[in-house]
Amino acid sequence: MGKLGISIYPERSTFDKDAAYLALAHQYGFQRVFTSLLEVTGDQSAVLANFKKVVEYANQLGMQVMIDINPGLFKQLNISYDDLSFFHDLGAWGIRLDNGFTGAEEAKMTRNPYDLKIEINMSQGTSYVDNIMSYSPKRANLLGCHNFYPHRYSGLGEDFFKQCTAQFAQYNLNTAAFVNSHEATFGPWPTQDGLPTMEADRDLPIATQMKHYLLMDNIDDIIVGNAYASEAELKTMQTIFNAEYPAIQIEVAADITADERQVLFESLHSYRGDRSEYLLRSTMTRVIYKDLPFAAHNTIDIQRGDILIDNVGYGQYKGETQIALQAMHNDGRVNVVGHIAPEEQFLLSYLKPWSNFKLVPVNQ
């Protein structure tokens, strides 16, 4: 079972603010904490003491803190890859290597006496993970996590994202990636346009970003990259992450009837397996609601993403629910009762035949 996570940046905030955010996230079932120690500037002992205090608080809540580091920090703090006691003493659950070593070192690090997790960068697209696996790591302690991208237009494309993720999935390693909060204001660097992993997610509502990952079904843990997400965003993430079925948001037509609302929003829809290139068919609604009238109305021509219910003119098909996969002529036998919300229309491509899903009104 995957986990939800948040990110904190102690060097750029205060202990009280970080602690309040950790407590709030914990309340909504978040278990992972990402933070970075890419550089230690100023008074080293003060920075580390502040850092340790935040980690200890997260640990008291039962959360798992992953510290992002780079090899330069090993040199700066005089740490060796074969002695990870420094991170154990900090209270870390694991360390994420922003840049790695040669493969042999990572494998050895997974066999540390503290059982610290070693998380490696998933966004490189090289044979890095294959190389580590060839050195026989302790698989339970080896994890993967994608990068996030503060610079607009620099995030990963989906095809490359899937390619990189598949390299880790073949070894059954835990995977993680980032979503972008629109309420958060900072990350580890002064400049950021949000902190998503995939560029396509940058401006989407956090609910839609979550559905994107869950429908792709290739990532275990989903972490908010920037701080601080709002309580509403955390609650939304929890709801969607734990939902039994994906829910697609619908803008309803102005003249939708009470019967049609019932069909759309009180049914568990099933994507019929003998699929058409034109229609995603949810056929059981014509059986369940066969006694309802479904008079003809709003029989306009059909566009991709339209939500359709066959009206009385379609005989035995009356009451069948469909989603249009492409534009079609309407001969008057189909009521256009809504449209997938514009920001969620791309999710249509991820719904699979034989899968179940729900429809919900926009902003529910």
The CATH number of the domain where 217 resides is what? 3.20.20.70
CA dist 343 and 281 (Å) reads 22
Residues paired with 309 in a beta bridge: 321, 335
Average pLDDT along the chain: 96
Q: Confidence class of residue 72 from pLDDT cuts 50, 70 and 90?
A: confident
* 119, β-bridge pairs: 96, 143
Is pLDDT larger for residue 37 or for residue 256? 256
Answer with the residue of higher pLDDT: 98 or 300: 300
Check whether residue 64 and residue 33 sit in a common domain.
yes
Residue 119: closest CA among 91, 136, 100, 134: 100
- Of 243, 259, 287, which residue constitutes the final position of a domain? 243
pLDDT band at 140 (very low <50, low <70, confident <90, very high): very high
pLDDT at position 103, please?
A: 94
Across 176-188, average pLDDT = 97
Domain co-membership, 196 together with 291 = no
H or E segment to which residue 300 belongs: none
Q: What is the C-alpha to C-alpha distance for residues 282 and 323, in angstroms, rounded to an integer?
A: 8
pLDDT of residue 99: 84
pLDDT for position 285? 98
143 half-sphere exposure, CB direction, 13 A CA radius: 25
The predicted model gives 123-150 an average pLDDT of 97
- Does 349 lie in the same domain as 256? yes
pLDDT at 74 exceeding the cut of 90: no
262-289 confidence digits (pLDDT tens): 999 999 999 999 999 999 999 999 999 9
Number of domains, the chain: 2
DSSP structure class, residue 103? S
Q: Is residue 363 predicted with pLDDT exceeding 80?
A: no
Q: Do 14 and 129 belong together in one domain? A: yes
At residue 121, does pLDDT exceed 80?
Answer: yes
- Return the CATH number at 277: 2.40.100.10
Does 211 share its domain with 337?
no
CA distance 220 to 300: 42
Q: What is the pTM of this model?
A: 0.95
